[in-house]
């Protein structure tokens, strides 16, 4: 899911932001 990473950097916290944050934390 490379799109999620790009979206996170572009928007900051998209719909998948919580999932990405939880996975990173």
What's the domain count of the chain? 1
Structure tokens of 7?
A: 């979206």
pLDDT band at 10 (very low <50, low <70, confident <90, very high): confident
Give the range of the structural domain holding residue 18, as residue numbers without chain letter. Answer: 1-25
Torsions phi, psi for 8 (to 5 deg): -60, -45
pLDDT, averaged across the chain: 62
- The alpha-helical segments, DSSP class H, found in 1-25 are 2-11, 17-24
pLDDT number for residue 11:
64
pTM, rounded to two decimals: 0.25
């Amino acid at each position: 899911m490379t799109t999620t990473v790009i979206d996170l950097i572009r928007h900051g916290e998209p719909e998948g932001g919580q999932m990405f944050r939880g996975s990173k934390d």
